Structure 1
Amino acid sequence: MSAEGLERRTRNYLSDNVPQIQDHGGHFQIEDVDEATGEVTVSIGGACSGCGIAPMTMRAIEQRLPDEVDEVTSVKVRRASGPRAAVMPNKTDEMEDMEEYSDYSPPF
């Protein structure tokens, strides 16, 4: 499969299975796709940058995408940078390492 095809399948999975990102004023962008290794990098931004469950959404994407898109072997999800990074101040950095959220499983 080509990187373009892998990117399209990744985008389709996120659009179809994680609609909360866009429904709540956030956005995602496929930053990089390595066809040879199956590694995918996704960034989320907009309202996601200040959302309390963003760390759990990021973790869920990292865990579920490889199970759903066969060619994906690993996923890195990060917050967007630049002009599309946030519509509110980022308040969730410290939450990413909190044990309370390590087992959270969003309903998507």
Structure 2
Amino acid sequence: MSAESLERRTRNYLNNNVPQIQDHGGHFEVEDVDEETGEVTVAIGGACSGCGIAPMTMNAIKHRLPDEVSDISKVTVRQANGPRAAVMPNKTDEMEAMEEYQDYNPPF
């Protein structure tokens, strides 16, 4: 497989299975692909940078990509840092303590 092929498969998976990112005004970028090791780095930004549950989305991407895209061994997901990146408090810990989020499973 070529790095381009792995990048394309990663991008296709995210486009097809994580539409909430774009639907909510966010975006993702496949920043780096190491063909030999299978390591992929994805950055999410736009509205994701200001979203309190972005860490949950990032965690889901990190754990699901290797299961769904063959040849991926490790995924690093980070929030994009740009001049428009909003700094919002991380709501993940607070949400995990709330009963209604105990079984939270992003729909992708």
The answer for the alignment partner of 2:88 in structure 1 is 91
The answer for the alignment partner of 1:46 in structure 2 is 46
The answer for the alignment partner of 1:18 in structure 2 is 18
| Structure 1 length-normalised TM | 0.86
| 1:52, distance to aligned residue in structure 2 (A) | 2.0
Q: Is the 8 A contact 1:6 1:33 kept in 2?
A: yes
Q: Which runs of 5+ in 1 are unaligned?
A: none
User: Which runs of 4 or more aligned residues in structure 1 lie more than 6 Å from their structure 2 counterparts after TM superposition?
Assistant: none
The answer for the alignment partner of 1:107 in structure 2 is 107
Give a deviation string over 1:23-74, Cα, whole Å, max 9, x none.
1100000010000000000000000011122110000000000000011011
Q: Is the 8 A contact 1:56 1:104 kept in 2?
A: no
| 1:104, distance to aligned residue in structure 2 (A) | 3.8
The answer for the alignment partner of 2:77 in structure 1 is 77
| 1:5, distance to aligned residue in structure 2 (A) | 0.3
Q: Secondary structure at the match of 2:61?
A: helix
Q: Which runs of 5+ in 2 are unaligned?
A: none
Q: Secondary structure at the match of 1:82?
A: coil
| 1:103, distance to aligned residue in structure 2 (A) | 6.9
- Residue identity matched to 2:82: G
The answer for the alignment partner of 1:35 in structure 2 is 35
The answer for the alignment partner of 1:3 in structure 2 is 3
Identity across the alignment (%) = 72
In the alignment, the residues of structure 2 paired with residue 79 and residue 32 of structure 1 have an alpha-carbon distance, to the nearest angstrom, of 14
Structure with greater Cα Rg: 2
Q: Indicate the RMSD between aligned Cα atoms, in angstroms.
A: 1.9
Aligned residues: 103
| Structure 2 length-normalised TM | 0.86
